[in-house]
Amino acid sequence: MQEQDRAKWAAAQGALQFVKDGMTVGLGTGSTAEKFVRLLAQKAADEHWQLSCVSTSKAIAALAQELGLTGEFTNPSLLHVDMTFDGADETDKAGNLVKGGGGALLREKLVALASDEVTIMVDESKHVEVLGRAFKLPVEIVPFGYQRTVKRLEALGAKAVLRCRQDQLFVTDNGNYIADCDFGGIANPAELAVQLKSITGVVESGIFAGIAKRIVTGRSDGTWTVQEL
Protein backbone atom coordinates (compact mmCIF):
# COMPACT_ATOMS: atom_id res chain seq x y z
CA MET A 1 0.00 0.00 0.00
CA GLN A 2 1.36 3.42 -0.94
CA GLU A 3 2.11 5.93 1.82
CA GLN A 4 -0.61 8.38 0.74
CA ASP A 5 -3.15 5.57 0.58
CA ARG A 6 -2.24 4.48 4.12
CA ALA A 7 -2.64 8.08 5.26
CA LYS A 8 -6.11 8.26 3.71
CA TRP A 9 -7.16 5.08 5.50
CA ALA A 10 -5.81 6.55 8.75
CA ALA A 11 -7.83 9.75 8.26
CA ALA A 12 -10.99 7.74 7.61
CA GLN A 13 -10.33 5.59 10.68
CA GLY A 14 -9.75 8.67 12.81
CA ALA A 15 -13.04 10.21 11.65
CA LEU A 16 -14.99 7.07 12.46
CA GLN A 17 -14.77 7.83 16.19
CA PHE A 18 -17.21 10.72 15.75
CA VAL A 19 -20.06 8.53 14.45
CA LYS A 20 -22.73 7.51 16.95
CA ASP A 21 -25.61 5.08 16.68
CA GLY A 22 -28.81 6.71 15.43
CA MET A 23 -27.10 9.49 13.47
CA THR A 24 -28.07 10.84 10.08
CA VAL A 25 -24.71 10.81 8.32
CA GLY A 26 -23.64 12.71 5.22
CA LEU A 27 -21.31 10.69 3.00
CA GLY A 28 -18.78 12.67 1.01
CA THR A 29 -17.28 11.89 -2.38
CA GLY A 30 -13.69 11.07 -3.28
CA SER A 31 -11.04 8.49 -2.49
CA THR A 32 -10.79 9.20 1.25
CA ALA A 33 -14.57 9.47 1.63
CA GLU A 34 -14.94 6.12 -0.12
CA LYS A 35 -12.60 4.54 2.43
CA PHE A 36 -14.67 6.08 5.21
CA VAL A 37 -17.88 4.60 3.75
CA ARG A 38 -16.30 1.15 3.73
CA LEU A 39 -15.17 1.47 7.35
CA LEU A 40 -18.54 2.91 8.39
CA ALA A 41 -20.49 0.07 6.78
CA GLN A 42 -18.34 -2.52 8.57
CA LYS A 43 -18.64 -0.71 11.91
CA ALA A 44 -22.42 -0.31 11.55
CA ALA A 45 -22.78 -4.02 10.79
CA ASP A 46 -20.54 -5.10 13.67
CA GLU A 47 -22.24 -2.80 16.21
CA HIS A 48 -25.78 -3.18 14.81
CA TRP A 49 -26.06 0.57 14.45
CA GLN A 50 -29.15 2.20 13.00
CA LEU A 51 -27.88 4.94 10.71
CA SER A 52 -29.57 7.01 8.04
CA CYS A 53 -27.21 8.11 5.30
CA VAL A 54 -27.27 10.92 2.75
CA SER A 55 -24.88 10.73 -0.19
CA THR A 56 -23.20 13.55 -2.11
CA SER A 57 -22.94 11.71 -5.44
CA LYS A 58 -24.51 8.88 -7.37
CA ALA A 59 -21.30 6.88 -7.11
CA ILE A 60 -21.16 7.09 -3.31
CA ALA A 61 -24.89 6.28 -3.07
CA ALA A 62 -24.32 3.12 -5.10
CA LEU A 63 -21.37 2.10 -2.94
CA ALA A 64 -23.20 2.77 0.33
CA GLN A 65 -26.21 0.71 -0.73
CA GLU A 66 -23.97 -2.09 -1.98
CA LEU A 67 -22.33 -2.21 1.46
CA GLY A 68 -25.68 -2.35 3.26
CA LEU A 69 -26.04 1.24 4.45
CA THR A 70 -29.52 2.74 4.30
CA GLY A 71 -30.92 6.25 3.99
CA GLU A 72 -32.18 8.90 1.59
CA PHE A 73 -30.02 8.36 -1.47
CA THR A 74 -32.12 9.46 -4.45
CA ASN A 75 -33.68 12.78 -3.44
CA PRO A 76 -32.88 13.58 0.20
CA SER A 77 -34.89 16.23 2.05
CA LEU A 78 -31.74 17.60 3.75
CA LEU A 79 -33.92 18.89 6.58
CA HIS A 80 -31.38 17.67 9.10
CA VAL A 81 -28.02 15.89 8.95
CA ASP A 82 -26.13 15.25 12.18
CA MET A 83 -22.65 15.06 10.70
CA THR A 84 -21.07 14.92 7.27
CA PHE A 85 -17.76 13.19 6.60
CA ASP A 86 -15.95 14.31 3.48
CA GLY A 87 -12.51 14.80 2.01
CA ALA A 88 -10.89 17.90 0.53
CA ASP A 89 -8.41 18.75 -2.18
CA GLU A 90 -6.82 21.49 -0.09
CA THR A 91 -7.17 22.98 3.39
CA ASP A 92 -5.49 26.05 4.88
CA LYS A 93 -4.62 26.73 8.52
CA ALA A 94 -8.03 28.30 9.17
CA GLY A 95 -9.85 25.22 7.88
CA ASN A 96 -11.03 26.79 4.63
CA LEU A 97 -11.23 24.20 1.87
CA VAL A 98 -11.04 23.70 -1.85
CA LYS A 99 -13.23 20.79 -2.96
CA GLY A 100 -14.61 19.48 -6.21
CA GLY A 101 -11.84 17.34 -7.62
CA GLY A 102 -14.38 14.57 -7.97
CA GLY A 103 -16.94 16.89 -9.55
CA ALA A 104 -19.50 16.62 -6.73
CA LEU A 105 -18.99 20.03 -5.16
CA LEU A 106 -22.60 21.23 -5.42
CA ARG A 107 -24.12 18.24 -3.64
CA GLU A 108 -21.22 18.20 -1.20
CA LYS A 109 -21.93 21.78 -0.23
CA LEU A 110 -25.69 21.24 -0.01
CA VAL A 111 -25.20 18.32 2.37
CA ALA A 112 -22.48 20.11 4.36
CA LEU A 113 -24.63 23.19 4.92
CA ALA A 114 -27.51 20.97 6.09
CA SER A 115 -25.25 19.36 8.70
CA ASP A 116 -24.79 20.23 12.36
CA GLU A 117 -21.10 19.41 11.98
CA VAL A 118 -18.72 18.68 9.11
CA THR A 119 -15.69 16.45 9.63
CA ILE A 120 -13.06 16.68 6.90
CA MET A 121 -10.60 13.83 6.30
CA VAL A 122 -7.29 14.54 4.56
CA ASP A 123 -3.73 13.29 4.29
CA GLU A 124 -0.84 15.62 5.07
CA SER A 125 -0.32 16.62 1.42
CA LYS A 126 -3.67 18.46 1.43
CA HIS A 127 -2.47 21.09 3.92
CA VAL A 128 -1.35 24.30 2.18
CA GLU A 129 -0.41 27.83 3.17
CA VAL A 130 -2.60 29.44 0.48
CA LEU A 131 -5.52 27.78 -1.29
CA GLY A 132 -5.54 27.57 -5.06
CA ARG A 133 -1.82 27.66 -5.82
CA ALA A 134 -1.23 23.97 -6.44
CA PHE A 135 -4.82 22.89 -7.11
CA LYS A 136 -7.16 24.66 -9.52
CA LEU A 137 -10.49 25.78 -8.07
CA PRO A 138 -13.47 23.84 -9.49
CA VAL A 139 -16.49 25.95 -10.37
CA GLU A 140 -19.74 24.31 -11.49
CA ILE A 141 -21.47 26.16 -14.31
CA VAL A 142 -24.60 25.56 -16.37
CA PRO A 143 -24.05 24.44 -19.98
CA PHE A 144 -26.38 27.11 -21.44
CA GLY A 145 -24.17 30.01 -22.51
CA TYR A 146 -21.13 28.50 -20.80
CA GLN A 147 -18.74 30.43 -23.06
CA ARG A 148 -19.92 33.73 -21.58
CA THR A 149 -19.75 32.34 -18.06
CA VAL A 150 -16.15 31.29 -18.63
CA LYS A 151 -15.37 34.82 -19.85
CA ARG A 152 -16.88 36.20 -16.64
CA LEU A 153 -14.66 33.87 -14.60
CA GLU A 154 -11.63 35.08 -16.53
CA ALA A 155 -12.63 38.67 -15.80
CA LEU A 156 -12.16 37.84 -12.11
CA GLY A 157 -8.58 36.88 -12.85
CA ALA A 158 -8.90 33.16 -13.46
CA LYS A 159 -7.40 30.99 -16.16
CA ALA A 160 -10.46 28.81 -16.68
CA VAL A 161 -10.44 25.46 -18.45
CA LEU A 162 -13.49 23.25 -18.87
CA ARG A 163 -12.89 19.82 -17.38
CA CYS A 164 -12.81 16.94 -19.85
CA ARG A 165 -12.84 13.18 -19.44
CA GLN A 166 -11.94 10.88 -22.31
CA ASP A 167 -11.94 13.77 -24.77
CA GLN A 168 -15.45 14.85 -23.81
CA LEU A 169 -16.69 17.60 -21.50
CA PHE A 170 -17.15 16.30 -17.98
CA VAL A 171 -20.80 16.44 -16.84
CA THR A 172 -21.72 16.49 -13.15
CA ASP A 173 -24.53 14.48 -11.54
CA ASN A 174 -26.57 17.67 -11.93
CA GLY A 175 -25.99 17.91 -15.69
CA ASN A 176 -23.56 20.83 -15.44
CA TYR A 177 -19.96 21.53 -16.49
CA ILE A 178 -16.91 22.12 -14.31
CA ALA A 179 -14.54 25.02 -15.01
CA ASP A 180 -11.20 24.44 -13.30
CA CYS A 181 -9.95 27.92 -12.44
CA ASP A 182 -6.36 28.92 -11.75
CA PHE A 183 -6.33 32.11 -9.67
CA GLY A 184 -2.66 31.76 -8.78
CA GLY A 185 -3.64 31.62 -5.12
CA ILE A 186 -6.77 32.64 -3.21
CA ALA A 187 -5.97 35.34 -0.64
CA ASN A 188 -9.54 35.70 0.67
CA PRO A 189 -11.56 32.50 0.12
CA ALA A 190 -14.84 33.81 1.56
CA GLU A 191 -14.74 36.96 -0.56
CA LEU A 192 -13.96 35.08 -3.77
CA ALA A 193 -16.78 32.62 -3.06
CA VAL A 194 -19.25 35.51 -2.93
CA GLN A 195 -17.89 37.02 -6.14
CA LEU A 196 -18.19 33.71 -7.96
CA LYS A 197 -21.77 33.14 -6.82
CA SER A 198 -22.71 36.59 -8.11
CA ILE A 199 -21.99 35.47 -11.69
CA THR A 200 -25.14 34.33 -13.47
CA GLY A 201 -24.38 30.89 -14.87
CA VAL A 202 -22.23 29.84 -11.91
CA VAL A 203 -24.04 27.23 -9.85
CA GLU A 204 -21.48 26.81 -7.08
CA SER A 205 -17.76 27.05 -6.38
CA GLY A 206 -15.45 24.60 -4.66
CA ILE A 207 -14.57 27.09 -1.92
CA PHE A 208 -15.83 25.81 1.44
CA ALA A 209 -15.06 28.70 3.79
CA GLY A 210 -15.94 28.40 7.47
CA ILE A 211 -17.87 25.17 6.95
CA ALA A 212 -15.63 22.52 8.49
CA LYS A 213 -15.96 21.78 12.22
CA ARG A 214 -12.81 19.65 12.37
CA ILE A 215 -10.00 18.37 10.18
CA VAL A 216 -8.77 14.79 10.67
CA THR A 217 -5.33 14.38 9.12
CA GLY A 218 -4.04 10.88 8.50
CA ARG A 219 -0.37 9.92 8.37
CA SER A 220 1.34 7.15 6.46
CA ASP A 221 2.26 5.39 9.73
CA GLY A 222 -1.44 4.82 10.46
CA THR A 223 -1.85 7.59 13.05
CA TRP A 224 -3.97 10.71 12.78
CA THR A 225 -4.46 14.12 14.35
CA VAL A 226 -7.67 16.09 14.92
CA GLN A 227 -7.86 19.87 14.51
CA GLU A 228 -11.00 21.36 16.04
CA LEU A 229 -12.05 24.61 14.39
77 phi and psi angles, rounded to 5 deg? -75, -30
Residue 161's H or E segment, with its range, is: strand 159-162
- The C-alpha atoms of residue 27 and residue 119 are separated, in whole angstroms, by 10
- The C-alpha atoms of residue 42 and residue 40 are separated, in whole angstroms, by 5
Angle between helices 31-47 and 58-66 (to 10 degrees): 30
Q: Is 182 exposed, middle or buried (0-12, 13-18, 19+ CB in 10 A)?
A: middle
**Starting from the edge strand earliest in sequence, which strands make up the sheet with 90-91, in order?**
90-91, 97-98, 207-208
Angle between helices 31-47 and 3-16 (to 10 degrees): 40
Catalytic residue from among 47, 66, 72, 108: 108
- The C-alpha atoms of residue 138 and residue 153 are separated, in whole angstroms, by 11
- Active-site residue, 108 included: yes
Catalytic residues: 108
